[in-house]
Amino acid sequence: MSRRLKRQIGKAPGGGRGVEPSPRPRAVASTPLQRLNRILLIGGAGLAIGAILLAVLTPPFKPVALGINLLAIGLGLLMGKGLGRFMFRRVLP
């Protein structure tokens, strides 16, 4: 086979073998609501872990203060979800 013919075969679509490579599977597109939930989940988990560590590492352990902190974090996450859904809502024509 000549060098010129090898180059033409190499430039052919599909690598010159006549078999098209299978397309790569695409990632599932996440909706803005799923993205907001993921952000809130990660942020809330970090805040909760921080509150628990702070309550455990301070000398007098106060379970009431820990409960109040965790309740405040949960309430803040619910408010953040409501604000996020309001701010990033879709405006339809």
Q: pLDDT of 75-91, one tens digit each? A: 988 888 888 788 777 66
Residue 80 lies in a domain: yes
In a domain, 9, yes or no: no
Burial 23-60 (b: 16+ CB within 10 A, else e): eeeeeeeeeeeeebeeebeeebeebeeebeeebeeeee
Asked whether residue 6 is assigned to any structural domain, the reply reads no
Q: What whole-number distance in Å separates Cα of residue 68 and Cα of residue 31?
A: 33
pLDDT tens digits, 46-80 = 888 988 888 888 888 888 989 998 999 889 888 88
Report the predicted TM-score, pTM, of the whole model to 2 decimal places: 0.56
**71 vs 2, 41, 77, 80, 85, CA distance in Å?**
77, 15, 10, 14, 21
Q: Would 78 be classed as within a structural domain? A: yes
- Decide if 74 is inside a domain: yes
